[in-house]
Amino acid sequence: MEIRSIYKGARLSAFKCREVTREIQGLSVSSALDLLAHTSRKAARLVEKTLKSAIANAENNNNLRADRLVVKEAVVGEGPTLKRFQPKARGSAGPIRKRTSHIRIILVEKLS
């Protein structure tokens, strides 16, 4: 059974967030939480929040124990981009793209 949690519209570019999610794929939930707690990036806090939500979904909705869960998939997709402009020299304007992302984490129960 797959348990999922999705964080939509995270105010962080998907490129920066993918670095963190690559590290936790395939790890047990406790190992992933330890790794995220000791990673000093904004993405680690957002991924940790999403992972804790997935764990809560597993415990409350599916009656699964947290110590038997494994991170099957941690994927980051691009969300909508906020487009802004900054004034530049001689009356022109330069674009500023404020990127967002969608973080999706899927947990499965470990077979032993």
The mean per-residue pLDDT over the stretch 74-102 comes to 97
User: Residue 107 to residues 46, 63, 65, 104: CA-CA distances in angstroms?
Assistant: 17, 13, 12, 10
The total of structural domains in the chain comes to: 1
Res. 1 pLDDT band, cuts 50 70 90:
confident
Q: What is the mean pLDDT of the chain?
A: 96
Where residue 14 sits, what CATH number does that domain have? 3.90.470.10
- How far is 95 from 103, CA to CA, in rounded Å? 26
As to burial, measured by CB atoms within 10 angstroms (0-12 exposed, 13-18 middle, 19+ buried), residue 90 is exposed
The answer, yes or no, to whether residue 40 has pLDDT greater than 70, is yes
